[in-house]
A and B are shown apart, each in its own frame.
Chain A
Amino acid sequence: MGDRIKNLLDSVIPSGPLDFVRSDAVVMLLVMGIILGFISVSVLFLIWLERKVSARIQRRMGPMMAGIPWLSEKSMWLGGIFQTMADAIKLLIKEDLMPAEVDRLVWFMAPVLVFTASLMTYVVIPFGQDFGVSDLNVGVLYLLAVSSMTVLGIMMAGWGSNNKYSLLGGLRSVAQMISYEIPMIFALLGPVLMAGTLSLQGIVKAQGENPFGWFWIPNVIGFLVFLIAGTAETNRPPFDLPEAEQELVAGFVTEYSGMKFAMFFLAEFSNTFVVSAVATTLFLGGWQFPWSWIGVTFGSPVTATVASILVFLAKAYVIVFLLMWIRWTFPRLRVDQLMHFGWKVLLPFAFVNLMIAALWVLATTHSAPAAPAAKAMSVVMRSLLS
């Protein structure tokens, strides 16, 4: 995205006194502004979507009053569109409390760390064809590394609150998150193996246009494992025991109110979008769409990029809707059921998926190693697939 903005600025701004506008620093600030703007709008939309979807699943209507006056109570979907903004303003104007006995620096930095970790993951997401903030050549690993910073933030919140409920909630949440990181990593390894690169744009490009060539077919098990592990990673129901209202007062967010609570809340929704975006990138072909099947060709690269961005967002929001659907359908897991499920069910399935992906790669690449067993296996698989 940076070089496109640079080209745009080069063509628009004449050289002269406004030369500093074309400098790298301004380009970086503009990219940051665009991405932060997208995140804000996206998170607000997601919170509204969550409330409407949960309402419809429970056969009620959701927020209806906070919206355009003559439209409320007439249309169900357009009734409460400003509800999220009203909630955000309410949280912003709440009194900023800091309990007296907390460990000040630790308690203060915890929501900052959690939200920062969530924001940092947007850097590598491939929003469209040649459109993303940056394409790191170790993109997948960067995503995992940054989301493990969330674990640290939650631990700081649990400990710094000087409250036994917070501590228990924090410890349980950390145990859950580090347990489910491992099946998530193994589920991610399948597409990485098949694409041969850790870069997310590279993985999308390796999937091609054909929907049956996307990585969800050989990695079906891995796709499911990734979605389940991603739900657990973001502390969403049915894995939300650490922050459930009926259980531990409010878990590790007990002592937080106002904007600090909003940081945790926004980070959870932001992470939900990131998990969905990564799932579409790795398993559903990212911004790819079989345009040639419906005979559409693009005149300029700009329209191709815009179309790819729309395709990516559509796919990501479908997965988000799926995660919300799961949230409001299943009951909460108890903490021992949670740990049992993560270690003894998901992890073996993730291993099986990795083996299947490896066999697939062996069978479909012609530069497979020439060991006799590998040759025999590749012959068998090729005959099965043809």
Chain B
Amino acid sequence: MSAYFFWPIAVFVLLSAIAVVRHPNIFHAGLSLVATFGGVAALYVMLEAHFLAAVQVLVYVGAIAVILMFAVMLTQHLASREADVPLSRHATSFLICAILAAFGISVVNAQTWSVKPFTYLEVKQIGHLFLDRNGFLLPFELVAVLLLVALVGAVLVAWKESD
């Protein structure tokens, strides 16, 4: 695994994530989110999960980011900036997240992982796992039901009563 690819992509992902949470103009924050998704897809390619990388771009960039930007466009003006939040709130949130991050990183690095050689996971194998009763068949069917419920629910919640 080449370190030449990892460090620039990791820095890119973290910087765009910080832009998402800090940029006052929400449309630009949405575009930074798209950049983050792209960086994460690049990480998946590095981790030899090509199917998941394509799905990431297709679903996250092509659908989720689009729907979030739709929400922005329907509820904001072009140059609207978010009202300022008091500094104490920023400070406490930053403190909480810093403590959580420090805790997480120390736990991760304290482990000794039993690293094994990787056999590439083909798309066919993922498909077989989805349809295997001892595999992931039940979660697969439940996700299908969940998506149906989400579809119907979203339409119902956003339904406009025509006057």
Residue numbers of A with Cβ under 8 A of B are 103, 105-106, 136-138, 141-142, 144-146, 148-149, 151-152, 155-156, 158-159, 162, 167, 171, 174, 178, 181, 196, 198
B20 at the interface (CB under 8 A from A): no
Q: How far does the Cβ of A184 sit from chain B's closest Cβ, in whole Å?
A: 12
Task: Spot the interface stretch: B51-59, B96-104, B105-113, B142-150.
Answer: B51-59
**A103-B54 in contact given A145-B62, A148-B63, A151-B62 (Cβ < 8 Å):** no
B65 at the interface (CB under 8 A from A): yes
Q: Please report the C-alpha to C-alpha distance between residue A181 and residue B62 in the assembled complex, in whole angstroms.
A: 10
Q: Please report the C-alpha to C-alpha distance between residue A155 and residue B68 in the assembled complex, in whole angstroms.
A: 12
Closest to B55 in A: A141
Q: Please report the C-alpha to C-alpha distance between residue A300 and residue B123 in the assembled complex, in whole angstroms.
A: 35
Q: Chain B 103-140, CB within 8 Å of chain A: the 1/0 string?
A: 00000000000000000001110000000000000000
| Residue contact B57 to A145, C-beta cutoff 8 Å | yes
6 closest residue pairs by CB, A with B: A148-B62, A145-B57, A141-B54, A145-B58, A145-B54, A138-B54
**A103-B27 in contact given A138-B123, A146-B57, A155-B69 (Cβ < 8 Å):** yes
Q: Please report the C-alpha to C-alpha distance between residue A141 and residue B58 in the assembled complex, in whole angstroms.
A: 8
Is the contact region of chain B dominated by helix, strand, or loop, or is it mixed? helix
Q: Which of A144, A146, A148, A167 has the most CB of B within 10 A?
A: A148
Q: Chain B 45-84, CB within 8 Å of chain A: the 1/0 string?
A: 0000011001101100111011001100100001100000
Q: How far does the Cβ of A318 sit from chain B's closest Cβ, in whole Å?
A: 29
Q: What are 13 inter-chain pairs, A to B, with CB distance below 8 A?
A: A106-B31, A136-B50, A137-B122, A144-B62, A145-B57, A145-B61, A152-B61, A155-B70, A158-B73, A159-B73, A174-B66, A174-B70, A181-B62
B34 at the interface (CB under 8 A from A): yes
Q: How far does the Cβ of B130 sit from chain A's closest Cβ, in whole Å?
A: 15
Which listed residue (A105, A136, A151, A159) contacts B78, Cβ 8 A?
A: A159
Which residues on the B side are within 8 Å of A148 (C-beta)? 57-58, 61-63, 66
Q: How far does the Cβ of B131 sit from chain A's closest Cβ, in whole Å?
A: 10
Which residues on the B side are within 8 Å of A159 (C-beta)? 27, 69, 73, 78
**A106-B28 in contact given A149-B57, A152-B34, A152-B65 (Cβ < 8 Å):** yes
Those of B21-39 within 8 Å (CB) of chain A: 27-28, 31, 34
Q: How far does the Cβ of B82 sit from chain A's closest Cβ, in whole Å?
A: 16
| Residue contact B78 to A162, C-beta cutoff 8 Å | yes
Q: Please report the C-alpha to C-alpha distance between residue A103 and residue B34 in the assembled complex, in whole angstroms.
A: 17
